[in-house]
């Protein structure tokens, strides 16, 4: 595993300008999403009863919210808004994925990266796989999200909510992770010319090392995230702000490093 991680880092270091591009992309996406959520949540928080109101005010607020969500069309504009954002992200992300994976495959020590060439040549199969993966990953939500909303509004405590919805949420997450790994292997195959279904079979045969390197890199990224968050809370002020903003670049580096390490594992298993 150490060799795959080191090789992944070597590939990552050759794609620094791509990392900057992905960082700007994620920064713009995060800003737009934050502003939209802020515009929805802040007005709701202003109406939430404070501690000086009657004991039944909070329950009345929740009952009214349940009625508005389930019996009226209040939520429909927000659903369409987030659907539009998701569609925009689904439109742009495959181009970036195609360019990155193509560049990882064709990068040589004596040559540059092939990011733009990858976007031009392999965006169609990568986009198709990305759409299928996203559709399959979101499909359980058509059943889970309405039941989750009912559970949220009907739960007496966070403990009850976790006990009821936790297993379903965990199963949905595991399903999404499984799809991501298998479709990532298919994207590698589509870019390399080895065939998507052949790469899928290879990903299934060598799933444990492929998933293992993914879990190691994700765990490393999670530990780094916890460390940065803890340091931000301890160092309040300008230092915390600078640390938090710089971490967005570190997180982008971790994403590219993870994909590069996964690619190296996949490539090492090809015959």
pLDDT tens digits for range 50-69: 665 556 665 666 666 666 66
Confidence of residue 88 (pLDDT cuts 50, 70, 90): confident
Q: How many C-beta atoms surround the C-beta of residue 56 within 10 A?
A: 10
Q: How far apart are CA 56 and CA 79, in angstroms?
A: 30
Higher per-residue pLDDT: 258 or 231: 258
Confidence of residue 36 (pLDDT cuts 50, 70, 90): confident
Helices (H), 48-157: 57-71, 76-106, 115-138, 141-154
How far apart, in Å, do the first and last CA atoms of the chain sit?
19
Q: How far apart are CA 246 and CA 252, in angstroms?
A: 10
Spatial contact of 58 and 45, defined as CB atoms under 8 Å apart: no
Q: How far apart are CA 122 and CA 202, in angstroms?
A: 20
The residue among 18, 185, 190 whose CA lies nearest residue 113 is 18
Q: How far apart are CA 89 and CA 99, in angstroms?
A: 16
The residue among 270, 99, 134 whose CA lies nearest residue 200 is 270
Spatial contact of 235 and 167, defined as CB atoms under 8 Å apart: no
Q: Is the pTM of this model over 0.85?
A: no
* Residue 201 in tokens: 């079979």
What are the distances in angstroms from CA 124 to CA 88, 96, 138, 182?
Answer: 16, 12, 21, 18
Given a cut of 70, is residue 102 above it in pLDDT? yes
Place of tokens 């594992």: 265
Rg from Cα positions in the chain: 22
Q: What was the pLDDT predicted at 136?
A: 92
The string of pLDDT tens digits covering residues 110-147 is: 556 788 888 888 889 999 999 899 889 988 888 877 77
Q: What was the pLDDT predicted at 140?
A: 86
Angle (CA) 153-38-131 rounded to 5° is 80
Secondary structure (3-state) at 170: helix
Quote the mean pLDDT of the chain. Answer: 79
Q: How far apart are CA 217 and CA 251, in angstroms?
A: 11
Q: How far apart are CA 225 and CA 229, in angstroms?
A: 6
């Amino acid at each position: 595993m150490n060799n795959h991680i080191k090789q992944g880092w070597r590939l990552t270091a050759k794609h620094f300008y791509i990392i900057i591009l992905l960082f700007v992309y994620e920064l713009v996406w995060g800003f737009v999403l934050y502003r939209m959520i802020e515009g929805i949540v802040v007005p709701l928080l202003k109406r939430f009863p404070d501690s000086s109101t009657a004991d039944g005010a909070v329950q009345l607020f929740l009952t009214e919210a349940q009625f508005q969500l389930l019996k009226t069309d209040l939520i429909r504009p927000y659903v369409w808004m987030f659907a539009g954002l998701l569609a925009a992200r689904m439109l742009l992300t495959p181009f970036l994925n195609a360019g990155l994976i193509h560049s990882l495959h064709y990068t040589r020590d004596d040559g540059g990266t092939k990011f733009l060439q990858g976007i031009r040549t392999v965006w169609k199969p990568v986009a198709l796989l990305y759409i299928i993966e996203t559709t399959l990953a979101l499909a359980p939500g058509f059943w889970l999200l309405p039941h989750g909303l009912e559970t949220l509004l009907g739960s007496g405590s966070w403990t009850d909510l976790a006990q009821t919805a936790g297993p379903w949420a965990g199963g949905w997450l595991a399903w999404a992770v499984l799809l991501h790994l298998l479709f990532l292997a298919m994207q590698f195959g589509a870019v390399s010319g080895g065939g998507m279904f052949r790469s899928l079979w290879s990903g299934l045969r060598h799933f444990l090392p492929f998933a293992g390197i993914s879990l190691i890199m994700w765990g490393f990224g999670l530990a780094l995230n916890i460390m940065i968050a803890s340091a931000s809370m301890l160092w309040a002020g300008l230092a915390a702000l600078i640390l938090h903003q710089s971490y967005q670049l570190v997180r982008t580096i971790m994403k590219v490093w993870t994909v590069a390490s996964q690619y190296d594992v996949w490539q090492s298993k090809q015959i």
